[in-house]
């Protein structure tokens, strides 16, 4: 992968630096392997790796090859709550997903060994309703045999109706396929 660098954090999307750079959001529950994905993509530790689940609620912007911004949305969509209980963070993210014209799509990461949950469905449906592109990255693929991860990818694609990729940040595979799809079809 070419150059990936941290741009800045912002508490709201409308405080991003000016410009027309296409944006791609990335989400995944805590421990899904999101930081590892970003670090693997960058080939350096630019995102934190678990241990201290981030209390800091900021959108983190990473520039990918000066082609698009990868925007990390920490902890979005993963606390069970009713509609009325949604906090400021959720409202801000939804404002981003609905109103940011430069946002093209969402990369949703999930541990390949986990079951698809209500949280993921809600986020996926929300993004689909906004006309955003979606790709699902099934992380930690190295934990399963090749035949198991292949069948899991097929199962998920059938179930969700969106492109799914198995990947491993540990072994560095699958990540380029996702970024390749984004570059070819989204921006």
> For residues 90, 92, 94 and 100, what is the CA-based torsion angle, rounded to 10 degrees?
-160
Token digits for 16? Answer: 């991003």
Which tokens belong to 123? Answer: 């986020």
**Cβ 51 to ligand GDP shortest distance, Å:** 7
**Cβ neighbour number for residue 40 with a 10 Å cutoff:** 23
Which residue lies nearer to ligand GDP by CB, 66 or 150?
150
Q: Measured between alpha carbons, how far is 112 from 106 in angstroms, rounded to an integer?
A: 18
Question: CB 15 → ligand GDP: shortest distance, Å?
Answer: 23
Minimum Å gap between C-beta 175 and ligand GDP is: 9
DSSP state of 116: P
Burial of 145 (0-12, 13-18, 19+ CB in 10 A): exposed
Residue among 102 and 152 whose Cβ is closer to ligand GDP: 152
Q: Is 184 helix (H, G, I), strand (E, B) or coil?
A: helix
Nearest distance from residue 18's CB to ligand GDP, in Å?
29
Q: What is the dihedral of CA 9, 57, 19, 126, to 10 degrees?
A: 150
Q: Which of 11/30 has CB closer to ligand GDP? A: 30
Is residue 139 within 8 A of residue 37, CB to CB? The reply is yes
Query: Which residue, 97 or 175, is less far from ligand GDP as judged by CB?
Result: 175
Using CB under 6 A as the criterion, which residues of the chain lie in contact with ligand GDP when the complex forms? Answer: 28, 30-36, 49-50, 139-140, 142-143, 168-170
For 11, the token pair is 């508490």
> Closest approach of Cβ 72 to ligand GDP, in Å?
9
Residue number with CB closer to ligand GDP (38 or 103): 38
């Amino acid at each position: 992968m070419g150059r990936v660098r941290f741009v800045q954090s912002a508490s709201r999307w409308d405080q991003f630096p000016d410009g027309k750079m296409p944006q791609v959001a990335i989400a995944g529950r805590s421990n899904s392997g999101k930081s590892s994905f970003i670090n693997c993509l960058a080939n350096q530790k630019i995102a934190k790796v678990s241990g201290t689940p981030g209390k800091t609620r900021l959108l983190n912007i990473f520039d990918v090859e000066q082609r698009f911004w990868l925007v990390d949305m920490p902890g979005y969509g993963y606390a069970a709550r009713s509609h009325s209980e949604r906090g400021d963070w959720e409202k801000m993210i939804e404002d981003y997903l609905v109103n940011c014209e430069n946002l093209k799509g969402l990369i949703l990461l999930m541990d390949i060994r986990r079951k698809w949950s209500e949280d993921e469905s809600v986020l996926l449906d929300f993004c689909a309703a906004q006309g955003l592109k979606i790709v699902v990255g099934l992380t930690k693929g190295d934990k399963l045999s090749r035949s198991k991860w292949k069948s899991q990818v097929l199962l998920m694609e059938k179930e969700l109706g969106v492109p799914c990729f198995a990947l491993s940040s540990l072994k560095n595979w699958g990540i380029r396929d996702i970024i390749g799809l984004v570059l070819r079809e989204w921006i």
